[in-house]
Homo-oligomer: A and B are copies of this chain.
């Protein structure tokens, strides 16, 4: 699939002078106030008219001037889903920056779809926030164009897919984390190490498992594809896939789980099969949620600085909204670190 050129790039290719609102109106055969209504996300415009105006705004790479775009003191925070326990860390990070800058946070959920619905984009256009932070969620091309034409900046946090080089994003060093987790297990003397991967459509899952593979390969250990299983990032997947791994006759003595919730599911599978952690099975998680310290035994895991990542995303999106173009790096990965606790030990001989 060849994706159309992003609106931003096209704008830059055209002369600095883009179409005015009046020109868009003329070309669409409507009045200037009608174009304004579309830009403001007002409901009282016929769908066909709206579609025609949106298309022209996009074709012309129209960008509302900052002076025209009165901002509401809001930041939009959009989650792919709110179920995950780590959403709270992210919310706290954005909330911290919002509070310091006198803004409020509007929370929404794209409810399992990987791109938020069209209605959502209209609502955002209507409320004119200072910026939009997307968590494990991505915008489609027309939604991006819609935000760009309203001069509403956006940042993707921990991108689910490859957001494209022109999309500002904040992530963590997932590959390094997978590497460090698996090296730790290798150093303990494990040679049969399994992995539970998160969904393969998410780049972060792929990067973690690639780090795991790199650790095995650089240690001269074979990578057994049968020991790599895949599931979503919830407890249930860790439990189910954990049972599958641990019931094998040649079961692994250690498992690197895709995240902490999967690791807790794996704990349950081990309990059910009468395997003790860490004596019979070593487990490493990913995220370092508060609960990782509280389970028995406390979980060795890769710390992902979720709150700091969210703070960085919020600061970046506010920087992007300033006219001076002071936003420096628009693609940042914050460092992960291994937190060794009590769920890992040398394998029983």
Residues of A whose CB lies within 8 Å of any CB of B are 72-74, 82-83, 85, 87-88, 91-92, 95, 99, 102, 104-109, 111, 119, 123, 126-127, 235, 264-265, 267-268, 271, 290-291, 293-296
A88-B85, A92-B82, A296-B295 known; A235 and B290 CB under 8 Å?
A: yes
CB nearest neighbor in B for A126: B73
A82-B92, A85-B290, A265-B294 known; A72 and B111 CB under 8 Å?
A: no
CB nearest neighbor in B for A108: B104
Q: Taking the nearest CB of chain B, how far is it from the CB of A221, in angstroms?
A: 30
Q: Which 5 A-B pairs have the closest CB atoms?
A: A264-B294, A105-B107, A107-B107, A104-B106, A82-B92
Which residues on the B side are within 8 Å of A126 (C-beta)?
Answer: 73
Q: Taking the nearest CB of chain B, how far is it from the CB of A134, in angstroms?
A: 15
Which residues on the B side are within 8 Å of A108 (C-beta)?
Answer: 95, 99, 104-105
A82-B92, A88-B82 known; A106 and B268 CB under 8 Å?
A: no
Query: Could you list some 11 contacts between A and B, CB below 8 A?
Result: A72-B127, A73-B123, A74-B106, A85-B290, A85-B291, A87-B88, A102-B119, A106-B107, A235-B290, A265-B294, A294-B295
Among B83, B105, B267, B293, point to the contact of A294 (Cβ < 8 A).
B267
Which residues on the B side are within 8 Å of A109 (C-beta)?
Answer: 95, 99
Known: A99-B108, A295-B296. 15 other contacts (CB 8 A): A82-B88, A82-B95, A87-B88, A91-B91, A95-B107, A99-B109, A102-B123, A104-B106, A104-B108, A104-B127, A264-B294, A265-B294, A268-B294, A268-B296, A291-B291
Which residues on the B side are within 8 Å of A91 (C-beta)?
Answer: 82, 91, 107
Which residues on the B side are within 8 Å of A291 (C-beta)?
Answer: 85, 264, 291, 294
CB nearest neighbor in B for A235: B294
Asked if B85 and A85 sit within 8 Å, CB to CB, the answer is yes
Which residues on the B side are within 8 Å of A95 (C-beta)?
Answer: 82, 107-109
Q: Taking the nearest CB of chain B, how far is it from the CB of A93, in angstroms?
A: 10
Among B83, B99, B295, point to the contact of A92 (Cβ < 8 A).
B83
Which residues on the B side are within 8 Å of A296 (C-beta)?
Answer: 267-268, 271, 295-296
| Distance of A290 Cα from B289 Cα, bound (Å) | 14
Which residues on the B side are within 8 Å of A85 (C-beta)?
Answer: 85, 88, 290-291
Which residues on the B side are within 8 Å of A111 (C-beta)?
Answer: 99
Q: Taking the nearest CB of chain B, how far is it from the CB of A240, in angstroms?
A: 14
Which residues on the B side are within 8 Å of A127 (C-beta)?
Answer: 72-74, 104
Which residues on the B side are within 8 Å of A105 (C-beta)?
Answer: 106-108
| Distance of A7 Cα from B310 Cα, bound (Å) | 40
| Distance of A313 Cα from B123 Cα, bound (Å) | 23
Q: Taking the nearest CB of chain B, how far is it from the CB of A231, in angstroms?
A: 15
CB nearest neighbor in B for A77: B107
| Distance of A224 Cα from B267 Cα, bound (Å) | 37
Q: Taking the nearest CB of chain B, how far is it from the CB of A87, in angstroms?
A: 6
| Distance of A58 Cα from B105 Cα, bound (Å) | 29
| Distance of A92 Cα from B265 Cα, bound (Å) | 22
